[in-house]
Each structure stands twice: as C-alpha cells, then as structure tokens.
Amino acid sequence: MRPLVLLALALPLIADNFTIQSNIPYAMYSGAALLLDVYKPNTPNGYGIIYVSGSGWTTPLAYSAPELKSNGQSKQYATALAKAGYTVFSVNHRSLPRFRYPAPVEDVQRAVRFIRHNAAKFGINPNRIGASGGSSGGHLVSMLGTLDGRGLATDPDPVERESAKVQCVVARAAPIDFLTGTNGSFLLGMTRPLLNDKTSTEYRTHVEASPISHITPDDPPFLLMHGDKDESVNISQSEQMETKLKAAGVPVKFLRILGAAHGPSFPGAVNPPDYLGEMVRWFDQHLKKN
C-alpha cells in the first residue's frame, strides 16, 4: 500500500471552519479497504485525534449500510473537535456479526499507526495523538490508551513499525471490564468464564479484551463521561475505571451526568453539562502538554 498516493484520491468536502477528506484507506483486509475520514481545520493546532463511533461493535451487512465514520455521532464529536483546531480522524473498523474480537482492536491500532506514520502529511505531531469514542467506541479508544501498542521494528510494512499508543483519551459510557460488567459474549465469541475460573480460554480472553486489565502508571490521561441512568453500560464500569486509574497514578476525571441514559447526547440528562466542551478542554489541557 502507498498511503501518500491513496490520500490524493479522496476529494475534500467544505464545511464551516474545516474541510472533510473522505474514504482514505488506512489498511487493506482480504482486498477490502478500511477507511477513515479526515476533518481538517482551516486553522489547525497541530494535534490529531482519532474518533471511534459507538455501534455495539456491529455494522449492518447490507452493501448500502451507513458507515461508522460518517454517522451522526461521528459528525457531532468530530465537528466539535475540528472547530477547536484539532485534525480528527473518524474511522471504520471490522465489525460484528462478520468479525469478532480482536479485529476491531487491531483495526483501530492500525489506524493510529497509519496516522502516526503520515503525521507530516496530515500536519500533526506524531508524538501527541489523542482518542475519543463512545460506548463500543469508548471501549476501543480505552484499549488504545491502556495497551502497550508497541510497533514491530522488523515488520516489512513501515506502518506496522509505529506505536499504536495514544497520549490522551476521552471515553463515553465505555465497557471496560467484560468479567464483571458488560456482557461481551457476542463480541468475544464465547460465554463468560465460570465463577472462580482463572485458567480457561474464556477467562484469558475476557481479561485480554478488557481495558481495565491493562492499566499501568504510564497510561495517558483519561476523561470518563457516563450517564447515571445508563441501562446499556452501567455507570459502575466508569467508576471502576476511575478507581483503578487513580490507583495507578494516571490523571483521570469522571464526568457523572445526572439522569442521562445511554447515547451520544446523554438523553434524559438533568441540566446536562457542556460535554463537548469538556472533551475539548481535556485535550487542550493534556494533549498539548510536552
């Protein structure tokens, strides 16, 4: 793959304060292109953020199915970030029911590696890349923050030699522990392990797929946002994540949204905070630090 040539194939769309360059391939899988859209501010601040939409890790099978990278949720969050000067990369990834774990994690890691490898082309700092996402997308960006993400120096593909670790994370209503919280059996292709089972494939896979299992003191700052009436992903998931990040000495802020159910706009919220502004301020505070 020659990414700099591929970049030239997508025609930009003009929006307020930014342009959108669509359908840039960041990888090929069995002949199918994995695509991202780039929101390029008119006055960029030199920092990039990968955005992963929530979808239950699922995409419809129809040829005409809407794309994750350009759905309403992606546009809402990417637009707010682009207007604040951030270059935003909204991505598709392999999804259920055709693809299971670890495919979505591998894809978002590949997207970060691709963005980092082409940082000069995109006009961003390769050493300061952020990530934002909600629900299943929140799970995936949390994995980008907690996994080591080290590239393979001997890989023949130079993109794969890059690190997939991000330097700042904003996660909305993210499933972070498949052992005790959100049921991940559909994503993982297996049921939860039996009580007190710590040796089975089921146990190892549930631990491996859970961001909370990978927290270390060198992880990036996390902003967690969660509605306290969320019936899809219980708020206890973010509470556990906050506790463990604090214990590891990782900077973390937990935005508890009263009355809010599950969804990108926190439906039902009582006096909802400026959650998009909180996201931008978190990146301003932590991503821009040297």
Task: State the CB neighbour count (10 A cutoff) for residue 21.
Answer: 18
Which pair of tokens denotes residue 198? 């710590």
Comparing 4-13, 181-190, 233-242, the range with the smallest average pLDDT is 4-13
pTM to 2 decimals?
A: 0.94
Domain extents for the chain? Answer: 3-286
pLDDT of the residue at 97 = 96
Between these two residues, 195 and 146, which has the higher pLDDT value? 146
pLDDT of the residue at 2 = 42
pLDDT of the residue at 115 = 98
pLDDT of the residue at 209 = 98
Q: How confident is the model at residue 13 (pLDDT cuts 50, 70, 90)?
A: confident
Distance, in Å, from the CA atom of 183 to the CA atom of 4, rounded to the nearest integer, reads 40
Q: How confident is the model at residue 7 (pLDDT cuts 50, 70, 90)?
A: very low
For the segment 99-105, the average pLDDT, to the nearest whole number, is 98
pLDDT of the residue at 113 = 98
For the segment 181-186, the average pLDDT, to the nearest whole number, is 93
For the segment 253-264, the average pLDDT, to the nearest whole number, is 98
Helices then strands, counting H and E runs in the chain, come out as: 9, 9
Residue 153 in this model has a pLDDT that exceeds 60? yes
pLDDT of the residue at 202 = 97
Residue 229 in this model has a pLDDT that exceeds 70? yes
Residue 5 in this model has a pLDDT that exceeds 60? no
For the segment 125-150, the average pLDDT, to the nearest whole number, is 98
Residue 210 in this model has a pLDDT that exceeds 70? yes
Residue 26 in this model has a pLDDT that exceeds 90? yes
Residue 193 in this model has a pLDDT that exceeds 60? yes
Q: How confident is the model at residue 208 (pLDDT cuts 50, 70, 90)?
A: very high
Q: How confident is the model at residue 290 (pLDDT cuts 50, 70, 90)?
A: low
Q: How confident is the model at residue 158 (pLDDT cuts 50, 70, 90)?
A: very high
For the segment 58-68, the average pLDDT, to the nearest whole number, is 94
Residue 30 in this model has a pLDDT that exceeds 50? yes
18-29 and 32-41 beta bridge pairing: antiparallel
129-134 and 168-172 beta bridge pairing: parallel
Distance, in Å, from the CA atom of 150 to the CA atom of 174, rounded to the nearest integer, reads 23
The yes or no reply on domain 3-286 and CATH 3.40.50.1820 is yes
Residue 6 in this model has a pLDDT that exceeds 80? no
For the sheet with 32-41, list strands across it: 12-15, 18-29, 32-41, 87-91, 48-52, 129-134, 168-172, 222-227, 252-257
Residue 11 in this model has a pLDDT that exceeds 70? no
Average pLDDT, the chain: 94
87-91 and 48-52 beta bridge pairing: parallel
**264-273 pLDDT, tens per residue?**
999 999 998 9
